[in-house]
Each structure stands twice: as structure tokens, then as C-alpha cells.
Amino acid sequence: MEQIRIHISDVRQFRQCRRAWNWSSRMRQNLEPAVTYPPFWTGRIVHSCLEHYYRDGTPILDTYAKELEEGMPNLWPMEKESFEKNEQLMYDMLLHYQMWQDQDTKMYSDKNLEFISLEKEFEVALPTPGGRISKKFGLGGRFDGVVRHIPTGEYWIWETKTTRSVQELVGSLANDEQCGVYMYAASRMLKVPIVGVLYNMLRKKGPTSPKMLQSGLLSKEAKVDCTAFWYLATIRRTHPDWNDDTIQEFYGDILQSLRDKETTYFMRYPVYRTPLEIKNLMVNIYWTACEMIKPNVKLYPSPGWLACTFCTFKSPCVTMNAGGNFQALIDSEYQLRVPFEPTLTEDDITMESHAHNPEG
């Protein structure tokens, strides 16, 4: 029997809202919006720029320019205007990131990392709760990368995240199931122990450059929102003839105060995960997979402010609740995912009473 490939994104969507899962899952209708969600495209460009930089040394801003040359995503006119305004934001984010790593010497800086694998597709066997290899389920997906920390020799999942707030994101990482799956897959594929996840976090905001005063000096207002190395680069452009001592005399105080702001923009944050954590995670995914393939699985919605606000299927869902023609919206505003993977139907699945006689 051909294995059913399970993706952690499907598992998470199934647990969050079965109705949205039914529309979006590769195992069901396999749909996505015909019009690209702008933040998704922005994140994709950032990932592409960093992938090529760490894979073959292509300058980050060269890849950025190439991405824009290859054409705009499919957007509504209003969203296209919004995306164009974000071009400067993405440019500033990536330039700022490059400047950060050019001067970073901390424990997990680029200088201390060897990039082993980047943007790697995987398909590995899913273990059963009893520890055997499942004949029914395979686990598929793609992780950002694997790195080796040179000073310690430890192997880590490399995961880039763009976020509104680095500090808020840090508080949510201990239970990151997605990267737990990546750890399991990478350890099986590369045959090395993966000790945890090294999160590479970028704030989704460009730095604010200080204003020029009438005196010819730069403003040292405490509210300037940038890092010390961004401010220093502005100083060097403004006063190209100044030496380090002069810069320190006039701007040493503001540069010192801005050094504490670095982690509001960027952070490399390691999260260790134990083998028992990963084992328990795989068990939970297995049981969820058994629920997902039941022929009579119930497809009820799970409304909630956060989930519904950002759901790409909000419009047909609300219409369905009201008894309207939701299928017309599905037909006009959604398309099959590209690249398309065949949808599994009940007839495609050989059931052996998974709910009552699971493997293991």
C-alpha cells in the first residue's frame, strides 16, 4: 500500500480548523487563494535572499533585485500598491541584516556556523507510537536548513523567522511543533544528532535613520529606532573624513545606548529539544494523522479571533455559515495549489479501522 504523506502544516491546520483544512489540505481539496497574500510573498523573498547567500555566497541585495525583476506576484490592484510600498522595507531589512552579520561576533554568528543543507525537501517514515516504522504514513515537508556550530560541533535546524516583535516570538518557540518535525526528519536524512533549533529572527521593520540638524550633526534623540551599527554607518556617510576618536567624542553616548537595541531587530536564539520531546511529538502527529484519514471525519469550523482574522478562507466560511453560495466564492477566488499534488479521496485509502486498530 502506498504511504500517505503527512505534512506538519496539514496537521496544524487540521487541529486548528477542520473546515479550513478540508479546503487547503493536499489530502483534501488542495486549494489556495488565486491572489497571493502579500506578507507571504515578502517572507518568500527574504528566505530566497538568505538561501542564496548562505548556499553560494550570492550577495543578499543581488538576489533581492533579481526577485523583483522576475515580476510581481498575482495581487489585487490595492494589494499591489501595498506590496510596492513594502519594497523599501524589504530592502532596508536585508541591508540591515547584512550589516548586522558583518559585525556580529557572538556565539551563533555566521562566523561560527557551517551551513550543511539549505531549503531541503524531505520525505521520511513516520514512526508508530510503538516505535516501529509506519507502513501507512510518510512525513513530508521542507526545512530552511541545517547548520553545524563550529566551536561545539553541534548540529542544529536553521530556521529563519520574520516577525513583528522578536521578543514576542521568543516566548512562543519552546513548543514549536514544526521545527520539532524538522529535527526528526533531518536526523534521519543526515544521520547526525540534531540538538535543537537555531532561530534566525528578523524584525519586519526597517531602521530609522537619524535626522540631520542645522549644525550639520546628526540628531541624538533617544526615540531614534535603529541599531548602533546602522547609526554608525550614517555617521560615516555624513562625516566621511572623521576618524574613530572624533566619532566617539561626538556620538559615543548615543552609540552606546543603541547597542542594547540590537536584539529588537535581530537575534540568533537556540532552543534545545530532548529526544523524548521529539518522540512524544511524533506520537501526537501519528494519532492526528489517523484522525485525518477517517472516511467519516467531521469537518466542523473552529472560530476564534486570531485564527479567523488571518484565515485565507474566511470569506467562503462566513458565507457557508450564513447559508449562502460559498461554492461560488471557492470557484472564483481559489485555485489548485501549484505544484499540484493529487488529492486523496476516501476511495484512495485502504482503511483498516484506524480508530480502533492503529499500528503499534
Same-domain pairing of 50 and 99: yes
How many domains is the chain partitioned into structurally? 3
The candidate with the shortest Cα–Cα distance to 285, out of 22, 2, 18, 6, is 6
Same-domain pairing of 189 and 275: yes
Residue 39: its pLDDT value, please?
Answer: 63
Same-domain pairing of 142 and 155: yes
Assess if residue 60 is contained within a domain. yes
> What pLDDT digit, counting tens, does each position of 192-211 carry?
999 999 999 999 998 999 99
Residue 133: its pLDDT value, please?
Answer: 92
Q: Which H or E element spans position 22?
A: helix 18-24
Assess if residue 16 is contained within a domain. no
Residue 74: its pLDDT value, please?
Answer: 61
Same-domain pairing of 171 and 95: no
Residues contacting residue 174 through CB under 8 Å, at least 6 positions apart? 271
Residue 351: its pLDDT value, please?
Answer: 26
Same-domain pairing of 275 and 143: yes
Domain range for residue 251?
A: 207-268
Same-domain pairing of 181 and 240: no
> Which residue ranges in the chain fall short of pLDDT 50?
340-360
- Helix, strand, or coil (residue 358): coil
Same-domain pairing of 155 and 273: yes
Assess if residue 90 is contained within a domain. yes
What CATH number has the domain bearing residue 128? 3.90.320.10
Residues contacting residue 117 through CB under 8 Å, at least 6 positions apart? 145, 146, 186, 190
Assess if residue 10 is contained within a domain. no
